[in-house]
Structure 1
Amino acid sequence: MSQLTGAAQAAQLHTSYGYDALGRLVQARNGHATVTLQYDALGQLLSETTTAEGIAATLSHAYDALGNRIRTTLPDGRVLQQLFYGAGHLHQVR
């Protein structure tokens, strides 16, 4: 499988990408920040942590039994809840 391992941007800023054994993106890094992604056994994204200048901020996610993302906790502790219809269609974000 072909995977992007690096990209050059304006002003010669280079971004490198890391993948786990299953081919999932687990890290993106450039000269300013690092983003680290963690997954559960089902491949659902559990957390996204951005670290810049020594400060980390994490988004955490939770899922229902159907695999729908139902909650995202923001770095400041606020929570976004996603409500779905029975067919899996997003109904509301609060």
Structure 2
Amino acid sequence: MVRRLITDLDIRLVEASKSILLEMMTILGAYRESLVLVGGWAPYFIIESFKPSDDNFVHAGSLDIDIAVNPKKISEVEYKSMLKLIEEHGYTHSLDKEGRV
């Protein structure tokens, strides 16, 4: 894993990523109990929630958004509904090097 410092990231991109994350959680609000934030944004929100008020540490945030879906709590129909909601808000799938979703 590459160590990143807050000075390594363009703060405008980090803020855009955070904004999209908040929008995504609003869009998927009905499924919130089945979703888990993972990746670089998870420690950001944990730190912000639990750090002492006099602590000046600032987590760098992240550029990408990683949300895990609990397959034991989401049916296939609900999963497809989630994807449709995301697409209806203008988001699309990223493709891997082989062109797969």
Calculate the TM-score normalised by the size of structure 2: 0.22
* Structure with greater proportional strand content: 1
Q: TM-score, normalised by structure 1?
A: 0.23
